[in-house]
Amino acid sequence: MKFLAKLYFVDFQFDVERNRVLYDIFFFSLYLYLYILQLPITITLSYFVATLYVLVFHKCFKVSRLLFQICSIVVALFLLPVINFNHGVTPLFHLIFLPVLILIATNFSKKSLAELYQTFRAFQYQNIFFISAGLIYHYDDIDPIGSIIPWVSRNGITSVLIVCQIAFSFVTYLYTKKFPLLSMFLVVIISFYGSGRGSIIVSVLLLLFGAIFNVFHSKSYKLKLFTLIFTLGLIFFLNSNSETIILLENIEEGINKTQFGQGYTDEARIGMMDEYVSKLDFYNFFMGASYKDTSIERYFASNPHNSFIRLHSYYGIFGITVLLMVISSILIANKDKSVKFTLLVLLVLLLFRAYTEPILFPSALDLFFLFMIALYFRKNYFISNDNILNISNHVI
């Protein structure tokens, strides 16, 4: 365990905290990688891994009355549209395990920020390492990231990485008041290899937000002055350099090699959304519509490429209502304004990615979404008595 702790840069004074972080890293890894394989059996196993995690650590898990009430209300609301069996037993399967995910997310949110930071840092850099290793191994393939797991969409791999990065970014912000720019930058590079428009846009915006935030909230006037001088110098250089046009053309050529080369809008996704909306009569609006006789079923293997369409199709207007209630609760909560603003920005980026890829609602990745919400509503963000060694505020 000590070797693994050094490998993951886990640094705690006591073995119990160190081992707890390592167990959490193993859990997230097994849970996520089973899901990434995107086979019915592995997705099923990922949920059973979550259930097993709860059973093994059941003494540490406490179910409050409020949590029980929330789970009961959500399950009751979602059960009504499920009786349509528009998608067989799949919506019911996800619904059965939803309380497990809520329980895990809630209890993880109660851990010390030091533990959460080290857990998510190790977990995310492990994800980046494995994907990078796959890219290097398949570097001479036409689609290197798509060759890592041949039957899994390259958009899916980058989308999962972005979800984990957003969760890691929120934890890092709460723990250090900074954002992990190195991991954000690496996710941008991997997203360009993935070629997906949504992943590229979200990863770049996430990096820009993190960089701007870190500079403006830095206590170092030298850093702010250097950033200002560097930015002005770069603008002057580009304006005065005769090769700027060639540089911009090369950048445009590189971008066009991604899916941006097909245009900045996705006609297929827009068409699927229009077809689904056209099926919403009075009954289907409340209970959800099937994909029958739509291009979603005929050409895309019942993949709507939109988390919100899938949420409505599975759980009707009740699913959309619960999501809106969650967002509204963040807005009206009496919380620190900077924390609220940061979470909302991160969730907007997450939901934007979910708008063009069915990565959430329902999905095993919902655990990370629920965890961020639960972490936001914890009583104290900073815990003074973590009984750990001091960890440098340098964020990588």
pLDDT tens digits, one per residue of 332-371: 998 889 999 999 999 999 999 999 889 999 999 999 999 9
Is the distance from CB of 322 to CB of 74 less than 8 angstroms?
Answer: yes
State the pLDDT confidence band at 393, using cuts at 50, 70 and 90.
Answer: very low
pLDDT higher than threshold 60 for residue 140: yes
pLDDT higher than threshold 60 for residue 196: yes
pTM for this entry: 0.87
* Residue count (the chain): 396
- Between CA 164 and CA 380 the distance in angstroms is 23
- Between CA 377 and CA 27 the distance in angstroms is 23
With both helix axes pointing from N to C terminus, report the angle between 154-176 and 15-36 in degrees, rounded to the nearest 10. Answer: 160
Is the distance from CB of 368 to CB of 161 less than 8 angstroms?
Answer: no
What pLDDT score was predicted for residue 122?
Answer: 95
What pLDDT score was predicted for residue 348?
Answer: 95
Which range, of 79-88, 164-173, 199-208, averages the lowest pLDDT?
79-88
Which range, of 206-210, 221-225, 261-265, 377-381, averages the lowest pLDDT?
261-265
Distances (CA, A) of 267 to 199, 255, 259: 17, 19, 12
Collapsing DSSP to helix, strand or coil, 218 comes out as coil
Report the phi/psi class of residue 382: left, alpha or beta, with left for phi > 0 and alpha for psi in -120 to 50: beta
State the pLDDT confidence band at 331, using cuts at 50, 70 and 90.
Answer: very high
Is the distance from CB of 138 to CB of 147 less than 8 angstroms?
Answer: yes
Which of the pair, 380 or 21, is modelled with greater confidence?
21
- Between CA 140 and CA 127 the distance in angstroms is 21
The enclosing H or E element of 61 equals none
What pLDDT score was predicted for residue 388?
Answer: 39
State the pLDDT confidence band at 387, using cuts at 50, 70 and 90.
Answer: very low
Collapsing DSSP to helix, strand or coil, 138 comes out as coil
Domain range list for the chain? 84-102+275-380, 218-264
- Between CA 47 and CA 97 the distance in angstroms is 7
Report pLDDT digits (tens) over 82-101: 888 888 889 999 999 999 99
State the pLDDT confidence band at 179, using cuts at 50, 70 and 90.
Answer: very high
What pLDDT score was predicted for residue 383?
Answer: 44
187 contacts: CB under 8 Å, gap ≥ 6: 128, 158, 161, 162, 165, 203, 206, 207
DSSP string computed for 302-355: T--S-HHHHHHHHHHHHHHHHHHHHHHHHHHS---HHHHHHHHHHHHHHHHHHH
Please compute the mean of the pLDDT values over residues 19-38 and round it to a whole number: 93
State the pLDDT confidence band at 385, using cuts at 50, 70 and 90.
Answer: very low
Report pLDDT digits (tens) over 218-276: 776 666 666 667 666 656 655 666 555 655 555 556 665 555 555 545 677 888 888 99
295 contacts: CB under 8 Å, gap ≥ 6: 268, 271, 272, 275
Across the chain, mean pLDDT equals 84
**Cα atoms in the Cβ-side hemisphere of radius 13 Å centred on 326:** 20
DSSP string computed for 225-287: HHHHHHHHHHHHHHHH-TTHHHHHHHHHHHHHTTGGGG-SS-HHHHHHHHHHHHT--HHHHHH
Report pLDDT digits (tens) over 105-137: 998 998 999 999 999 999 999 999 999 999 999
Longest dimension (CA), the chain: 68
**Cα atoms in the Cβ-side hemisphere of radius 13 Å centred on 365:** 24
What pLDDT score was predicted for residue 390?
Answer: 42
What pLDDT score was predicted for residue 258?
Answer: 56
The token duo for 7 is: 């490998």
DSSP string computed for 65-90: HHHHHHHHHHHHHHHHHHTT-TTTTH
